[in-house]
Amino acid sequence: MRHSKKLFLYVLLLFTSHTFSQGRVDGFYKGKGKTEVVLGGGAQLEGNYFAGRDKVGVSRNIFYGNLFVAMGLLDQLDVYLAVPYISINDVMSVQDGSVFVKMKLLERSIGAGNFSLSFAAGYSAPLAPYQTEGLNAIGQLTKMWDFRPVVHYSTDKWFGTFQAAFNPKSDPTPDAMGAALKFGQAGASFYWDAWYEYQYSFGGLDYRGTPTPSTFKQLGVDYHKVGVTAYKPIFERLGAYVAFSYALTGRNIGQGPGFHGGVVLKSGN
């Protein structure tokens, strides 16, 4: 609804490509001429790793920072830009930059709220030749397209968003598909949400599997993740958020609590 547009902050892209993800876009729109810049960071404290689908005691701590910009080019057209920086032990690098465009295709009043259907398309690519192998791997050094419909319903008190995705990736990383579901409240003085995200890779090899992968770029990454986000305005053009994420289970992915936070700067009327 209207007040949701005044408050809602695009913190959904704050988490890097597949380590901290929670859906690449949302169902709200910023409005023409409005911009938000988010400076975020956090840590993923992984005590276990799913080698294939077998949980093993491999631990590592991942620290990250992220610059995220959301711009309303039109009332029904938004653009998102994100640049993450990852640190694992003594290995650190800028990771995969991404750009997304989201357009509203349909909007209808249904019952006490508004229903909308949007379509988003994005592209991500490595911004540096970072490490891909071993315990300190920053990522898979892959180029990826992202295509997703976004279904959103909101009332004066609650909202729900569902999105599906198809992700073609550059060789030798397998393509993937996924879905995300989010539910929460977007009020004038406080925002919160709870979310679930799923990803499935088409094939790929497994860590410690047979045949043995020649590079981690060949790994297929699946997961079931959950999380919560809370945001509070501080001043008219400044706010702060905190978030938590956790991988319930998966394939070739670490498991452990993720703690995230940052500030949001707004511009535009």
The pTM of the whole model exceeds 0.75: yes
Is the predicted pLDDT of residue 81 greater than 60, yes or no? yes
Give the pLDDT score at 79.
97
* The pLDDT value given to residue 148: 97
Average pLDDT taken over every residue of the chain = 91
pLDDT for residue 269 = 67
Q: How far apart are the first and last CA of the chain?
A: 18
What would the pLDDT profile of 58-69 be if each residue is shown by its tens digit? 999 999 999 999
Q: Is the pLDDT at 127 greater than 50, yes or no?
A: yes
pLDDT at 4: 41
Q: Is 189 exposed, middle or buried (0-12, 13-18, 19+ CB in 10 A)?
A: exposed
How much is the average pLDDT of 99-120?
96
CB 126 within 8 A of CB 96: yes
The pLDDT tens digits of the residues spanning 161-205 come to 999 999 999 999 999 999 999 999 998 899 999 999 999 999 999
Q: Is residue 10 predicted with pLDDT exceeding 80?
A: no
In this prediction, residue 102 carries a pLDDT of: 98
What's the confidence (pLDDT) of residue 187? 86
Q: State residue 4 phi and psi, 5-degree precision.
A: -65, -35
Q: Is the pLDDT confidence value at 118 over 60?
A: yes
Q: Is the pLDDT of residue 23 over 80?
A: no
**For range 45-49, the mean pLDDT:** 96
Specify the higher pLDDT residue, 222 or 269.
Answer: 222
Among 88, 68, 90, 89, residue whose Cα is nearest residue 80:
68
pLDDT for position 14? 40
Average pLDDT over residues 34-53: 96
- Considering only 2-16, 99-113, 144-158, which range has the smallest mean pLDDT? 2-16
Answer for the pair 15, 22: CB distance below 8 angstroms, yes or no: yes
* Chain segment 205-258, per-residue pLDDT in tens: 999 999 999 999 999 999 999 999 999 999 989 999 999 999 999 999 999 999
